[in-house]
Structure 1
Amino acid sequence: MASPKTVRWGILATGGIAKTFTKDLLVDPATRGVQHLRHTVVAAASSSSVSRAQDFLNDTGAPADAKAYGSYQELVSDPNVDIVYIATPHSHHYQNAMLALEAGKPVLCEKAFTVNAEQLRKLADKAKEKELFLMEAVWTRYFPLSIYVREQITSGRIGPVARVFADNSMACDPEVQWKDGTNRMVNPELAGGALLDLGIYSLTWVFQTLYHTQPADARKPPKVLAAMKNYAPTKQADETTTIVLSFPRSHQAGGDAHAIATTSLRVATSPAGNQDVPGIRIQGPGGEIQVFPPAFRPTRTRIVLQDGTVEDKDWPQPGPGEGSGWRNGFGATTNAEGEGHGMFWEADEAADAVINGRKEGRYEGLDESILIMEVMDEARKQGGLTYPDKIETTKYPTQL
């Protein structure tokens, strides 16, 4: 067997999501059955200081010789970096990704990819021009659980998908939790609100089950009807957004299919955090597939068929295992000892693409990412939500 190839990562930004990703990245891929590649971190950059970047490298267990940079330009200029992971707020993704692409670096960029579809089209054009890999880090798409759900659909197990309900909501108290209005969840300067931060997962489940599972030559964009409630204190952020989508399909494929994607900062998918009600329901004439919350990191599915068959399946996240002393998590939540968070699956996909010369992800290409951004653009248009011009612009470079 050939030796695994090592892909060298540069981490652009050093916040919470970057820490979770990097800790997962450095877990031995063999713990999840991946043998042909390895990951390492050779550099990290903080826009605030070199010392913050160094603290990040220390905290995540990066190799001792990894470089700490105090600017993103230094990171993308490092010749030892094979691929850049961008973990800034989505308000900054367009500027940061363009910086990396212009420097000739492949990019894995956190979701939401950009704040509007035109920005993403520009990035896709630049990646094509430079012949570089570019992928949205919608980690959930790469979970074995998600692959399983899509396989159940394409096998015809429940028949043609007729409708999908997808919710990703959390009962916050934003006026108390983020009372100064500067948090990324509600801050217009960071393209805040439920839609781009949480609603992207609701749309991810709709698209990966109802759009991506169709033959590539048969997929058609959906019609969109949206309702939006703005967050009163900051005005330019959505508190709750609900989108109704109608996907055109041929009569032979089951006819038009419907979906509802919803998200909220005020109410939860699963009250009290019990995760005991399905946040995702994928329905066909033969039954339905249920996915239990959280939508972004589900670990349980249920199939209910018309004949009364019920199949429950757990999907624990792999990792170094109990007794390793290793822990990961996000925010205030820490996973069980030795349990990965699940961000390594998307890293494996990106690294495999770099090794093999692919320019897009296999489970969500750039055209599909652009279409999802177009749906969010339309939802914002119907809801009257715009962000500051400097956030929406495609002018590069723009100082944010």
Structure 2
Amino acid sequence: MAPHVVRWGIMATGWIAEMFTKDLLNDPTLRDVFDVAHQVVAVASSSSKAKAEEFIAARGITTACSAYGDYESLVADPNVDVIYVATPHSHHYQNVRLILEAGKNVLCEKAFTVNAAQTKILVDIAREKNLFLMEAVWTRYFPLSIQIRELIQKGEIGEVLRVIADTSFGDDVETKWGTKHRMVNPDLAGGALLDLGIYSLTWVFQTLYHTLPRDQRKAPTVSAQVTPYHLTGADESTTMLLNFPTSTPSNGPHPKQSHGVAMTNIRVSTDPDEKGSAGPAIRIQGTKGEIQVPGPAFRPESYRIVPKKGGGEVREVQCPFPNNGHGMFWEADEVARCLRDGKKESEGLPLDESIVIMEVMDEVRKQGGLTYPQKIESTEYPVQL
């Protein structure tokens, strides 16, 4: 049986769009995927058509692919099934809404938007128009992540009561990032939280929240500390303590709370010598042992199961990325299957869960006094950014 082919439009032409497109062009059969396949049929740059043409040529796209110098033409292209949004998160609300209003399906790069109010409106529009919408948290769709979630649900490490996750890079911030780079620029919703902290939150949520049945998932209470970057006010360091009212997998007769510690920093590193000497980036701790995941938190390639004393041997599991892939093809495969099956959201990251995570980040920002310019916080549409 021939695979279901999904035709992609790519919105923006930066580095993340390059990585995603490269993975779309990666032969799916080399990762043992035979039921879906991908084509890139349109690319748009907001600055010029020439830039989109350069992107198509540089990626070696051989099928018919249209180049556009504005996003309005991309969303109007009748050959496009779904659009991948690769713009800065400051622009996601305006860009995704443009696509949804045009009646197209969307995969939007993380963080979904700048705040939960924007995400809720996009979700409401997608549901009203019966369109597919998903936040592109690629790590969720790795076989490694799926395996770890299944191990937790089977009780491999007992009742999971604490998860510690860190996504940090030790840079000379003033020299490397200055004031204009998107990592530290408030006009682009810069800072550690939305760009890197989302991965720490991803590990906390996919292990302590997502592993419960949907009707038992409850939002956590949040306590946070934020350190602003002195040159721009964007956060350079954020630490979050999340208290979930239930634990997983059993949530048994005497329900226990579980704690998530999610950290991010752009001045100190999870892995200072870049050899893994500092230990795991993620520790998932249960009553019968723990699962350790080496960093980086967004793209781990292995994990260890460490049983409690007397509970057996330590097991190391390797999860390499096939065919030199970056790893974004798995989320693309998920989108393709959802479109094929008529699903409007992914079970791997339901829209309601994306909203809860955005609400957590809103609360973190509120406690840390972290705000962005009104223009990018706004729910008004359209707004020229």
Fold-level match, TM-score > 0.5?
Answer: yes
User: Alpha-carbon deviation of 1:254?
Assistant: 4.5
**Aligned equivalents of 1:358 and 1:219: distance in 2?**
21
**In 1, are the aligned partners of 2:239 and 2:262 still within 8 Å (CA)?**
yes
**In 2, are the aligned partners of 1:353 and 1:360 still within 8 Å (CA)?**
yes
Say which SS state the counterpart of residue 11 (structure 1) adopts: strand
**In 1, are the aligned partners of 2:39 and 2:63 still within 8 Å (CA)?**
no
Query: Which deviations, in whole Å up to 9, do the C-alpha atoms of 1:175-212 show, x marking residues without a partner?
Result: 00122x11110001000000000000000000000000
Say which SS state the counterpart of residue 273 (structure 1) adopts: coil
In the alignment, residue 238 of structure 2 is paired with which amino acid?
Answer: T
Runs of 4+ in 1 over 4 A off after TM superposition: none
**Aligned equivalents of 1:279 and 1:312: distance in 2?**
15
Distance 1:218 1:64, change over 3 A: closer
The percent identity for this pair of structures is 60
Match of 1:348 among 321, 333, 336: 333
Q: Which structure 1 segments of 5+ residues have no match? A: 320-338
**In 2, are the aligned partners of 1:225 and 1:243 still within 8 Å (CA)?**
yes
Match of 1:202 among 200, 203, 214: 200
Distance 1:287 1:253, change over 3 A: farther
Which residue of structure 1 aligns with residue 69 of structure 2? 70
Q: Does 1:318 align with 2:308?
A: no
Query: Which deviations, in whole Å up to 9, do the C-alpha atoms of 1:78-127 show, x marking residues without a partner?
Result: 00000000000000000000000001110000000001000000000000
Which residue of structure 1 aligns with residue 229 of structure 2? 231
Q: Which moved more, 1:136-145 or 1:307-316?
A: 307-316
User: Alpha-carbon deviation of 1:396?
Assistant: 0.7
Which residue of structure 2 aligns with residue 369 of structure 1? 354
**In 2, are the aligned partners of 1:278 and 1:290 still within 8 Å (CA)?**
yes
Q: Does 1:302 align with 2:304?
A: yes
After TM superposition, the structure 1 = structure 2 runs for residues 125-144 of structure 1, keeping only pairs within 5 Å, are 125-144=124-143
Which residue of structure 1 aligns with residue 215 of structure 2? 217
After TM superposition, the structure 1 = structure 2 runs for residues 248-259 of structure 1, keeping only pairs within 5 Å, are 248-249=245-246, 252=253, 254-259=255-260
**In 1, are the aligned partners of 2:182 and 2:189 still within 8 Å (CA)?**
yes
* Equivalent residues, number: 378
Say which SS state the counterpart of residue 327 (structure 2) adopts: coil
After TM superposition, the structure 1 = structure 2 runs for residues 1-400 of structure 1, keeping only pairs within 5 Å, are 2-179=1-178, 181-235=179-233, 237-249=234-246, 252=253, 254-276=255-277, 277-306=279-308, 307-319=311-323, 339-400=324-385
Aligned Cα root-mean-square deviation (Å): 0.9
Which residue of structure 2 aligns with residue 334 of structure 1? none
In the alignment, residue 364 of structure 2 is paired with which amino acid?
Answer: A
Say which SS state the counterpart of residue 19 (structure 1) adopts: helix
**In 1, are the aligned partners of 2:93 and 2:118 still within 8 Å (CA)?**
yes
User: Alpha-carbon deviation of 1:63?
Assistant: 2.5
**Aligned equivalents of 1:149 and 1:253: distance in 2?**
25
User: Alpha-carbon deviation of 1:36?
Assistant: 1.0
User: Alpha-carbon deviation of 1:275?
Assistant: 2.6
**Aligned equivalents of 1:18 and 1:168: distance in 2?**
22
In the alignment, residue 261 of structure 2 is paired with which amino acid?
Answer: I
User: Alpha-carbon deviation of 1:252?
Assistant: 2.7
User: Alpha-carbon deviation of 1:65?
Assistant: 2.1
User: Alpha-carbon deviation of 1:264?
Assistant: 0.2
User: Alpha-carbon deviation of 1:351?
Assistant: 1.0
TM-score scaled to structure 2, two decimals? 0.97
**In 2, are the aligned partners of 1:44 and 1:68 still within 8 Å (CA)?**
yes
**In 2, are the aligned partners of 1:23 and 1:61 still within 8 Å (CA)?**
no
**Aligned equivalents of 1:231 and 1:127: distance in 2?**
36
